[in-house]
């Protein structure tokens, strides 16, 4: 579904992603971990099409097509979704109207007939229930005055409504209380199928107990320095990142020595 090859990207002329390779197939859940500032959100931003990130090398293929050429809205219409680490507050745009508009444009793009108002309402109720998202919040301005946890839940509510093929969750678990974590995980697990895939960026092994990943990757200094299965997450929880940082540095010196 997604193939990332030797991806390099910079922001404000500073290289942040320094050669990322990653393949995600339908039905898989990949977790990405790594120290603060290592480039996890940057990778998500590049995939979603944020303007100020410039790809300098490499390519990204999504569903057989070059992803990097298309506008953010077209990526979303093709089935990509990013749950933001820091969701925007947009006063004056109502949550529900925003979703209605998004669904209308996505459906138009896919040559599907517009969703009937009744059907939209039914779906919205169902998904609210799934992620236990307060009906009051649905009618408010987009994220305006929402608590940190409410914003994260709203991201998952949107995810549930838009039913993407590839969802990237950027630290959706940070700021969630234990109950919310359980609810969000339950929601994601319900949405999991052999047709879609998830990339879950997190700092905590706890989330991965609820949403069990097929693969775990560690991103450090713009590169994936280690990949493994869910046991890797447990090892990280225990030992921290230092050993990986050292390994990575050692590898770099060796590489330099061989040149």
Partner 1 sequence: MVQEPAIPLYEEVVDGFNKLLSGPTAAVAGPRAESNSLRRAREAAFGRFRERGFPSIKDEDWRYTQIARFLKDKYDLSGTFDQDQSALADKAEIPSLDSYRIVLVNGTWQRNASRGVPPSGLLLLTTAEAKQDPVFAHYFEQRTGDHHFTALNAALFTDGIFIRVDANAVPDRPLHIVHVYTADRNLLVQPRHVVIVNRNAALTVIESVVSGSPPDGPRILVNSVAEIMVEQDAQLEHILIQTAGQSTRLIQHTTVRQKRQSLYNNFTVTLPGSELVRNELHVRMEEEYSESHLYGLYLTGGRQLVDNHTLVDHQKPSCQSNELYKGVLLDQSTGIFNGKIYVHKDAQKTNAFQQNNNLVIGDKATIDSKPQLEIFADDVKCSHGSTVGQFSEEALFYLRSRGIGEQTAKGLLINAFAFDVTEKIRTPALRSHINHLIGDHIPAVNS
The answer to whether residues 140 and 94 touch, using CB atoms and an 8 Å cutoff, is yes
| Residue at token pair 């950027």 | 170
Binding to partner 1 (CB under 8 A) within 22-81 occurs at 48-51, 71-73, 75-77, 81
Binding to ligand ATP (CB under 6 A) within 42-101 occurs at 42, 52, 85
Question: What is the torsional sign of CA 100, 106, 110, 111?
Answer: positive
- 165/82 Cα distance (integer angstroms): 11
Is residue 106 at the binding interface for partner 1, with CB under 8 A as the rule? yes
Nearest one of 126, 123, 128, 129 to 139, comparing CA atoms? 128
Nearest approach, Cβ of residue 38 and ligand ATP (Å): 4
136-149 residues labelled b (16+ CB within 10 A) or e (exposed): ebbebbbbeebeeb
Instruction: Give the residues across from 32 on adjacent strands.
Output: 201, 217
| Secondary structure element (H or E) that encloses residue 149, with its range | helix 148-162
- 21/10 Cα distance (integer angstroms): 16
Is residue 226 at the binding interface for ligand ATP, with CB under 6 A as the rule? no
Stretch 141-160: interaction string toward partner 1, x if CB under 8 A: x----------------x--
The phi, psi pair for 165, rounded to 5°, reads -85, -35
Is residue 145 at the binding interface for ligand ATP, with CB under 6 A as the rule? no
φ/ψ region of 240 (left if φ > 0, alpha if ψ in -120 to 50, else beta) reads left
Stretch 14-43: interaction string toward ligand ATP, x if CB under 6 A: --x-----------------x-xxxxxxx-
Binding to Mg ion (CB under 5 A) within 39-68 occurs at 40-41
Nearest approach, Cβ of residue 168 and ligand ATP (Å): 12
Binding to partner 1 (CB under 8 A) within 70-99 occurs at 71-73, 75-77, 81-82, 84, 87-88, 90-93, 97-99
Mapped to the 3 state alphabet, what secondary structure does 75-87 carry?
HHHCCEEEECCCC
Nearest approach, Cβ of residue 159 and partner 1 (Å): 10
Nearest approach, Cβ of residue 161 and partner 1 (Å): 9
Residue 42's binding partner out of ligand ATP, Mg ion, partner 1, none, with CB under 5 to 8 Å set by partner kind: ligand ATP
Question: What is the torsional sign of CA 211, 213, 216, 221?
Answer: negative
Nearest approach, Cβ of residue 179 and Mg ion (Å): 24
Residue 258's binding partner out of ligand ATP, partner 1, Mg ion, none, with CB under 5 to 8 Å set by partner kind: none
Query: CA-based angle 89:90:92, to the nearest 5?
Result: 140
Which residues contact partner 1 by CB under 8 A?
A: 48-51, 71-73, 75-77, 81-82, 84, 87-88, 90-93, 97-99, 101-103, 105-106, 109, 141, 158, 162
Which residues contact ligand ATP by CB under 6 A?
A: 11-12, 16, 34, 36-42, 52, 85
């Amino acid at each position: 579904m997604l193939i990332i090859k030797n991806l390099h990207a910079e922001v404000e002329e500073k290289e942040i992603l320094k050669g990322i390779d990653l393949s995600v197939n339908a039905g898989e859940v990949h977790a990405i971990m790594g120290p603060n500032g290592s480039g996890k959100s940057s990778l998500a931003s590049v995939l979603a099409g944020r303007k100020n990130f410039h790809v300098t090398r490499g390519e990204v293929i999504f569903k057989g097509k070059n992803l990097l050429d298309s506008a953010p809205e077209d990526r979303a219409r093709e089935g990509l979704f990013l749950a933001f680490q820091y969701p925007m507050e947009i006063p004056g745009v109502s949550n529900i109207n925003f979703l209605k508009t998004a669904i209308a444009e996505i459906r138009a793009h896919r040559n599907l007939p517009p969703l009937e108002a009744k059907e939209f309402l039914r779906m919205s109720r169902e998904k609210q229930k799934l992620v236990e998202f307060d009906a009051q919040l649905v009618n408010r301005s987009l994220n305006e005055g929402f608590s940190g946890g409410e914003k994260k839940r709203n991201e998952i509510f949107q995810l549930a409504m838009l039913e993407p093929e590839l969802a990237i969750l950027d630290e959706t678990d940070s700021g969630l209380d234990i109950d919310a974590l359980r609810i969000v995980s339950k929601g994601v697990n319900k949405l999991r199928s052999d047709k879609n895939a998830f990339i879950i960026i997190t700092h905590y092994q706890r989330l991965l107990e609820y949403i069990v990943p097929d693969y775990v990757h560690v991103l450090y200094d713009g590169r994936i320095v280690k990949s493994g299965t869910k046991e890797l997450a447990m090892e990280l929880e225990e030992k921290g990142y230092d050993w990986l940082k050292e390994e990575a540095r050692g590898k770099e010196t060796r590489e330099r020595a061989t040149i």
